[in-house]
Structures are given as C-alpha cells and as structure tokens.
Amino acid sequence: MDLGAFSISLAVKDIKVSKAFYEKLGFKDFGGDITQNWLIMKNGECVIGLFQGMFEKNLLTFNPGWDQDAKPLGKFSDVRSLQRKLKDQGVALTQEADETTTGPAYISLEDPDGNAILIDQHV
C-alpha cells in the first residue's frame, strides 16, 4: 500500500519558538504560512509540519499523490482506494472520505496505541 509522502505534523504551543528550535536542528522553511499558524519545514528528506491551534496532538501524516518535495506524482493510490483497502482489512477510521468525490480528500485513523494518522491527499 503506497501512502505517499511522509511527514510528522506537530501540534505546537508557540509556532515561532518551535520554528527557531527546528532551525537549530537544520530544518528550513519549505511551505506554509506562519501568519496562519502553520509551517512546513524540511531537513534533507525529513519533513515536519508545525501547527499551532489546529490539532489536539501530533500526527503521522501521509500525502498520496506527492513526493517528499510536495511535487505531484503522475501515478498514485487515491485516498478513497486506500480507504476501501483499510476498511476491507477491518481498520476503523475516525474520519472517512466521501467515496462519490474525486481529487483532494482525507481520512484519519489511530494505531493501536492511540497515535493519530492522517492520510491527506491534496491532488
């Protein structure tokens, strides 16, 4: 099952403080808008998202249709197809995509330890 690009989405208390901290670890701005309290940072192939006031807890994030540079892929597994496969395997979803739509959509689930997983398709 190809889930697409991987990143960690961090629920931060102060995005400016977090940005400064991750810059010390070698991360650089990659996308987002700090004035809207979200920022994407990258260090090599490692991608983190800083989100202030948007999520309750940290998320493992996968983006079908994107490579690690957030560039669209010509061929990928649509989030609705992934949703069907997961449901067929008995995986409970906390948020489902509308099967009658195409294009951008997302699903969410939790692993057995309560870690949140977001599969967020932007294309």
In total, how many domains does the chain have?
A: 1
Work out the mean pLDDT of the chain and round it to a whole number. 97
For residue 53, give its domain range. 5-121
Q: What is the CATH number of the domain that holds 116?
A: 3.10.180.10
pTM: 0.93
Give buried/exposed letters for 91-113 (b at 16+ CB in 10 A, else e): eeeeebbeeeeeeebbbbbeeee
pLDDT above 90 covers a percentage of the chain that reads 99
Mean pLDDT, to the nearest integer, of 31-49?
97
- Residue with the two structure tokens 């560039």: 71
Residues 81 and 33: their CA atoms lie apart, in Å, by 31
The pLDDT-based confidence of 25 (bands split at 50, 70, 90) is: very high
Which pLDDT value is given to residue 77? 96
Which pLDDT value is given to residue 23? 98
